[in-house]
Structure 1
Amino acid sequence: MDVFTVAAVITALSAVVVVFYFLFRQPTTSSWPKIKQSLAYTQNVIPKKRKFQRNLNSLDDFVPTGESTTVHDVARLFARRGKEFSVYSIDWEQEVVVLIRPVDGADLKAHPFFREAQRRKAAEVLCVPLEKLQEVASAVADEVAHVQEVFIFMTGRCGSTLVTRFVEATSVAQAVSEPDVFSVIHMALHRLKRSSQHGQPPPRHGSSTVLSNEESTIALLRNVGTLLNYNLVTSDARHRDVIFYKLKPDVILLGDLMARAFPSAKTVFMYRDGLEVSESVARASFQQSYVIYVVTMCVTTLLRVSLAPDFLRCFGDDPKFSTVRHHGTGRFHMSTWWVGAMLCAAVLQKKQPGYFFHAVIYYSALVNDKKRTFSLLMKKLGLKWNPENPGEDTDKIEKALTEDSQAGTLLCAKARKPGEKWAPDVSSRWMWLWERDYFWEVCRHTGNEIPGPDFLLPGTIV
C-alpha cells in the first residue's frame, strides 16, 4: 500500500469519525409535552428502534400511541398495579418520574442491561409528578421495608455484569444491572453544580427545584428506590428480598447522598487495572479494529473532541484535572473516567469505612476463580449461600459461570451472539508507551491518592 493510499484511508476514516461525533451530539426530536404535569397519566408507547442507547434513558426513547389517560389517584393505582411498572427515568421538563410496563411475558432480567431491556420492551409508561412521588412511595413502603439493598459501584469493564448474572441465578438474591434512573438523577445534579460554578442560571425546570438541596435529593433517591424494590420483589417468582443494584460508573459521585438515602444498604466496589479498562473499552467500542481505534484517537485528539457519553465525561470536570494535557479529548475522558472513579472510591472508603465498602473486588479475582470469589463476596455481605443446597439451580449457576455475561451486546468485546462462552483475551496489547505515560500523568494529578493504574484499594479481594 503506497503513501497516497494510506493517506486516503486515514482521510476517509477521519471523516467517519467527524460524522459520528456530530451524529452523537445531534439533538433528538420529541413527541412529548415539555411543560410541568400536575396529574399522573398513563400512555401506550412504541420504542424507537436503536441498535445501541448512547444517551440516558428518557421519554424520547418512545413514540406515544393513542390518547393518554389521566390518573387522579396514582398512589392507589400503584398499590394495585405497581408490580407491572419499573422506574425508567425522570423527565425534568414535565417534572415526572417515568415508569414503564413491558409487553406481556417479557423478562427484563434476560438482557445483560436492565435499562436496555426496559427500553426495548416498553408497552406503556406511567408518569408520576415529582410532587406526588412521596405519596406513591408511602403507599407501598411497608411492603418493602424488609428489603436489603446491595449497591455495586464500579469502574466498568471489571466483571460487574458477571456478578449480577451470577446473583440472579441464585435462590438468595436477585440482581438488576444498571437501572438508569440513578444516573439520570446524578447527571442532573452534576449539571446544576457545573452551571453554578460557571455563573450560569439554573435550567427552568424541575431539577433546579427538587435537587436544590440535599434533603429533597435524598428523598427523591429513597422514593425511587422504594418503587424499584416494590416492582422487583412483587414481580419476582421467588419474591427474593435481597436486591443487588449494579450502578453505572458515574453514580459513585453520588455516593455520600446514596449512603444517606439508603443507610442500611450494603455496598460493593469492583474495579480493574486502569490501562486494562481503557483497552477493554477501546476493543468493544471499535469492534476489535486497531486501525479504527488509532485513527479515531488521533483525529479526536487533533480536533479536541470526545465521543464519550456525558455520564463518563463528568469525571473530567473535577478541577484536579483542569491542567491535564489534551483536555476534553477522548483520551482525556477515557483516563479521567477510571482515575476519577477510583479517587472517589478511595475518598468514600476513608470517610465512611463502615459503609464504603463491605466488599472490594478486583477483576483478576473473578478471572482466576469465579465461584470462590463469588462465595467470598456473599460471605462478606453476610448472605448465606451454598451452591450445593437443594434449592439452587446448578444449571443456571454453571451457565452464569461459563457464558460471556455481555454476549450479544455492543459492549461485549468478542461474543456477538447471546449464549457464547467467555474466554480471556490473549491478543497483543493496544496501549502504546505514550498512552501509558499519559494515563500515569492523569493519575499524578490526584496527588498521592491514586499513584498509578495498578493502584489497589485497601481490603481488595485479588
Structure 2
Amino acid sequence: MDLFTVAAAITALSAVVIYFLLSQLTTQSSSWPKTKQPLAYIRKVMPKKRKFQMLHNSLDDFKPVGEAATVHDVAQLFARRGNEFSVYSIDWEQEVVVLIRPVDGVDLKAHPFFREAQRRKAAEVLCIPLERLQDVASAVADEVAHVQEIFIFMTGRCGSTLVTQFVEATSVAQAVSEPDVFSVISMALYRFKRSSQHGQTPSRHDCSTVLSNEESTIALLRNVVTLMNYSLVTSDPRHRDVIFYKFRHDVILLVDLMARAFPSAKTVFMYRNGMEVSDSFKRAFFQQSYVLYRAYRLAVSLGLGMLLSPPPDFRCFGDDPKFCTVRAYGSGPFYLATCWIGVMQCAADLQKKQPGYFFHAVIYYSALVNDKEKTFRLLMKKLGLRWSPEDPEEDTDKIEKALVTDSQAGTIASLKGRRPGEKWALDVSSRWIGQWEREIFEDVCRHGGNEITGPGFLLPDTIV
C-alpha cells in the first residue's frame, strides 16, 4: 500500500469516526422532570434540530416552552380533543405516555415516516401517567371498537414504506409508517428481560414495572393502540376504519404479546434477500459514499467495529451469546446480518406456531419490483379487503403517484437522496457486497443454529 493510499484511508477513517460520533450524539442535559408524574399535563415544545435521529423518540427531542398546564380530567380532554394528539413515545422516568399535537395544518402521514414527522412538527406534548392510561382508553374505546388493525412486520429495506403510502392513497384503508412507541416498548421489554436474566434490577430510566407482568404489558399495548386508533379515525377526513400499522423490525420481539392483545388483527410480513438488505442499509447510512464505507471496513479490521456499532434496535438479536465467536463480532455488518436472521427466524417460528394468524400475507421484495399493482391487489385480496383502482371512489391520481414515486424520497433512507415526489427507479449500480461481507453473513448463519441457512431463504406461501 503506497503512502497516498494510506493517507487517504486515514482521512476517510477519521471522517467515518466523526460521522458516527455526530450521528449518535445525544443531548447531555434535559429540561424535563426525571421523576414520576402523578397528573397529566400539557406543555408547548420546540423540536430540537437534528439531522440524524439514531435513538428512539423521547421527550428529549424537544425543548419545553413556558410552563406546564396540569390536566385534572385527561380522559375528558382526550374524548374531546383526541383527534389533535398522536402517541409519540413513553417516558419511563416520568412514567407517562407522551403524545404530540403538531403545528396546525400539518399532515403527519405525508412524511414517509410517522415518527419523524411527529418529531419535526410537534407544537405541544400531552403526557398521560401510565396509571391513568386505562381511564383515557376506556373513554374512547367504544368509538373505535369496530376498527380493523393490520400489522406489518418486516426486515427493513423491503418495500414496506411503499405499501403504506399506497394504502394511504386508497379509500378503503389508512396507514401509519413506523410509529415509534411500539419500538420504545419493545426495546424496554428487551432490556428488562436481559437484566432479569443476569440477575440485575432494571433502572427506571430503562422501563417501568408495568413491563414486569405480561398482562399489564398487554393492557399497555391495547391502550396505546386504542388512543392511536381514535386519533387516526377521528382526524381522517374519510374516517377510514381499517388501519395498517407498519412497525420497525425490532417490534417482532413483541409479536406474541401483540397477538394476545389483538387476536382479531391481521398480519403481514415483508422481507428481502439478506445480503440485499445489508447492502441497502449501508448505502443509505453512508449516503452512497463507498469511500466512507471502505474506511469503515478498515476500522472494523483494526478492531474498532464495536466502537462504531449501530443503535440498540439493530443490536438486540446479535447480543445472543451463540454469536460471540462470529467474524467481525460487534461491527455494523455483523449486527445487520444477525438482525435480518433474527427477524426471519421469528417469522418462521410464528408461521409454525400459529399458521392461522401468522401471516395472512407474506411479500418478498421482488414481487413489488416486478409488478407493484398486481402485488397490491393480491395483498388486499389476502387481507379480505375489497379494493379496485377502477372504483369511482378511488383517487386515481393519488394511486398513480404512490406507484411511481420514491416512497422514501426526502429522507436519509432514500438511496438516491431524491427530493419528495421524485420518481423511483431500480438501483442498478454495482453492489458493495463482496467476499468479506458474504463470509460474515455465512458465519452468522452457521452460528444461528436454525433453519435460516442463507440470505436467500424463502418462507412458505411467499408472494414473489
- Same fold per superposition (TM over 0.5): yes
| Amino acid paired to 1:201 | T
Secondary structure in 2 matching 1:406: coil
Q: How far 1:197 sits from its partner (Å)?
A: 2.1
1:196 aligns with 2:196: yes
Contact kept, 8 Å, 1:95 with 1:206, in 2: the verdict is no
What is the CA deviation profile of residues 152-201 of structure 1, one whole-angstrom value per residue up to 9, with x for unaligned ones? 00000000000000000000000000000000000011111111222322
2: distance between equivalents of 1:194 and 1:22?
26
Contact kept, 8 Å, 2:99 with 2:125, in 1: the verdict is yes
What is the CA deviation profile of residues 254-304 of structure 1, one whole-angstrom value per residue up to 9, with x for unaligned ones? 110110111110000000000000111111111112121111122035213
Query: What's the counterpart of residue 384 of structure 2?
Result: 382
Query: What's the counterpart of residue 303 of structure 1?
Result: 304
Q: Which of 422, 441, 444 is equivalent to 2:443?
A: 441
Contact kept, 8 Å, 1:32 with 1:60, in 2: the verdict is yes
1: distance between equivalents of 2:205 and 2:21?
27
1: distance between equivalents of 2:346 and 2:227?
28
Contact kept, 8 Å, 1:297 with 1:330, in 2: the verdict is no
* 1:107-118 equivalence runs, <5 A: 107-118=107-118
What is the CA deviation profile of residues 340-389 of structure 1, one whole-angstrom value per residue up to 9, with x for unaligned ones? 11011111111111111100000000000000000000000000001100
Contact kept, 8 Å, 2:155 with 2:271, in 1: the verdict is yes
Q: 1:331 to 1:394 in 2, by over 3 A?
A: same
Query: What's the counterpart of residue 410 of structure 1?
Result: 412
Identity score, percent: 73
| Amino acid paired to 1:20 | Y
Q: Which runs of 5+ in 1 are unaligned?
A: none
Q: Which of 372, 375, 378 is equivalent to 1:373?
A: 375
Q: How far 1:309 sits from its partner (Å)?
A: 1.3
2: distance between equivalents of 1:414 and 1:116?
19
What is the CA deviation profile of residues 67-97 of structure 1, one whole-angstrom value per residue up to 9, with x for unaligned ones? 1000001001100111100000000000000
Query: What's the counterpart of residue 287 of structure 1?
Result: 287
| 15-24 vs 41-50, greater mean Cα deviation | 15-24
Query: What's the counterpart of residue 454 of structure 2?
Result: 452
Contact kept, 8 Å, 2:272 with 2:365, in 1: the verdict is yes
Query: What's the counterpart of residue 328 of structure 1?
Result: 330
Query: What's the counterpart of residue 347 of structure 2?
Result: 345
1: distance between equivalents of 2:130 and 2:206?
8
2: distance between equivalents of 1:287 and 1:24?
13
Over aligned residue pairs, what C-alpha RMSD do you find? 1.3
2: distance between equivalents of 1:328 and 1:415?
28
Q: How far 1:205 sits from its partner (Å)?
A: 5.5
| Amino acid paired to 2:90 | I
1:82 aligns with 2:94: no
| Amino acid paired to 2:211 | L
Query: What's the counterpart of residue 5 of structure 2?
Result: 6
Contact kept, 8 Å, 2:88 with 2:98, in 1: the verdict is yes
Contact kept, 8 Å, 2:95 with 2:208, in 1: the verdict is no
Q: How far 1:448 sits from its partner (Å)?
A: 4.0
| Amino acid paired to 1:267 | T
Query: What's the counterpart of residue 139 of structure 1?
Result: 139
Contact kept, 8 Å, 1:297 with 1:331, in 2: the verdict is no
Contact kept, 8 Å, 1:35 with 1:93, in 2: the verdict is yes
Contact kept, 8 Å, 1:167 with 1:173, in 2: the verdict is yes
* 1:60-459 equivalence runs, <5 A: 60-204=60-204, 207-301=207-301, 302-305=303-306, 306-459=308-461
What is the CA deviation profile of residues 407-462 of structure 1, one whole-angstrom value per residue up to 9, with x for unaligned ones? 01001101421111100111111111121122122112232410100000001000
Q: 1:369 to 1:13 in 2, by over 3 A?
A: same
Contact kept, 8 Å, 1:273 with 1:453, in 2: the verdict is yes
Q: How far 1:25 sits from its partner (Å)?
A: 4.8
Contact kept, 8 Å, 1:404 with 1:415, in 2: the verdict is no
Q: Which runs of 5+ in 2 are unaligned?
A: none
Secondary structure in 2 matching 1:56: coil
Contact kept, 8 Å, 2:191 with 2:206, in 1: the verdict is no
Q: How far 1:18 sits from its partner (Å)?
A: 2.5
Secondary structure in 1 matching 2:128: strand
| 431-440 vs 101-110, greater mean Cα deviation | 431-440
TM-score, length basis structure 2: 0.97
TM-score, length basis structure 1: 0.97
Secondary structure in 2 matching 1:344: helix
| Amino acid paired to 2:137 | A
2: distance between equivalents of 1:342 and 1:206?
27
Contact kept, 8 Å, 1:143 with 1:230, in 2: the verdict is yes
Query: What's the counterpart of residue 47 of structure 2?
Result: 47
Query: What's the counterpart of residue 38 of structure 1?
Result: 38
1: distance between equivalents of 2:89 and 2:205?
15
2: distance between equivalents of 1:262 and 1:379?
21
1: distance between equivalents of 2:70 and 2:274?
49
| 17-26 vs 150-159, greater mean Cα deviation | 17-26
Contact kept, 8 Å, 2:101 with 2:124, in 1: the verdict is yes
